[in-house]
Amino acid sequence: MKIIIAGAGDVGSHLAKLLSSEFHDIYLIDKNEERLNSISSQFDVFTIPGDAKSVEIMEQKLISSCDLLIAVTSSEETNMLICILGKKLGAKHTIARINDDNIIKENREHFYNDLGINTLISPTHLASLEIKRLIHQSAFTDDIEFGQGKLTVFGISLSSNSILINKTVRESADLNPNLTFKPLALHRDNLTLLVSGETILKENDIVYFISLKESIENIIKICGKHKFKVKDVMIIGGSRIGLNTAELLEKDFRITLVEKDKKKCEEMASTLKSSLVVNINGHDVKMLEEEGLTETDALVSVTADSEMNIMTSLVGKSHGIKKTIARIENFDYINLSQSIGVDTLINKKIIAADNIFKFV
């Protein structure tokens, strides 16, 4: 496939990394030549310095012959314009990153489809959906669904009582002939490794399985975990992700949403139906305790401060909370979750790139 990525920011560069290993012709367009040079030195991609929506770029036959045009600059309007122009010039499929997730929440995509934008991607909306999935699948560290949910790739850490510990991957399969699953990779000592039949599984490994949906419950058990029932969820931070997550979860769980800005609290309280909105500082552990921290089953920290989100999650763990999820912006933190004690670290830009990757 010939794939053009407009925008070499976090989403674009992560996409370039994912796609360059798939033997496609990848063209990355950005105004920042220094960033392009850095990316091209690491990954097998063609780079084009310039403005993707400019006449000079658009007049090139590159866009008219591409199979997939992905616009992921920081500007929603620019992304839409690139896709509309690209479609007019002959791009087969177009994807635009947007910031206004209300377009998706209110099912208004068809209007943009008519203009030539085939798919709209909202990192905020996708991050909220990912949190919802993780709360419902409480034993997982992360998961991705394929084939309309029939297949799931998920990560789960091996507890000390797992029957898989000190067994090879091949022995693990022989022990469980009735389960349809395959270990793909594992994360150990800050390294992610592909597994073979002779790979020995160890305690605290995060093992990534691909499995049919009906086998998931039993895989959780053989990993020494149990799928506990979540009733109470505390969300720290009234960001768009925080509000969206509360909206998605409040039908199924008791939600407490913590935000230090009083005006924002009033706005969210008028939007949410059953969630309790509390005007306190998420740094204040004593106040969090008074609002039910110790009775919380899952803690989701999604403020704009990555370090605060991590620290709040660790405080939650020290108070016995079973499931902690922290939003982070720094890519360097991604692999630290298990080693520092947070169940899951999420980055909305990586989630967006991973979702776009499914279209290839």
pLDDT tens by residue, 207-224: 999 988 888 888 888 998
- Give residue 149's pLDDT band: very low, low, confident or very high (50, 70, 90): low
| pTM for the model | 0.83
Q: How many CB atoms lie within 10 A of CB 145?
A: 14
Q: Where are the beta strands (DSSP E) in 189-322?
A: 191-194, 206-212, 232-236, 254-258, 276-278, 298-301
- Give residue 148's pLDDT band: very low, low, confident or very high (50, 70, 90): low
pLDDT tens by residue, 256-287: 999 999 999 999 999 999 999 999 999 999 99
Angstrom distance (rounded) from CA 59 to CA 237: 45
Q: Is the pLDDT of residue 237 over 70?
A: yes
What does residue 278 show for φ and ψ, rounded to 5 degrees? -120, 130
3-state secondary structure of 61: helix
pLDDT at res. 180: 81
- All domains in the chain, ordered by first residue: 2-121 (3.40.50.720), 128-132+228-346 (3.40.50.720), 139-222 (3.30.70.1450)
Angstrom distance (rounded) from CA 305 to CA 282: 11
pLDDT tens by residue, 325-348: 999 988 777 766 656 778 888 999
pLDDT tens by residue, 166-178: 999 999 888 888 8
3-state secondary structure of 124: helix
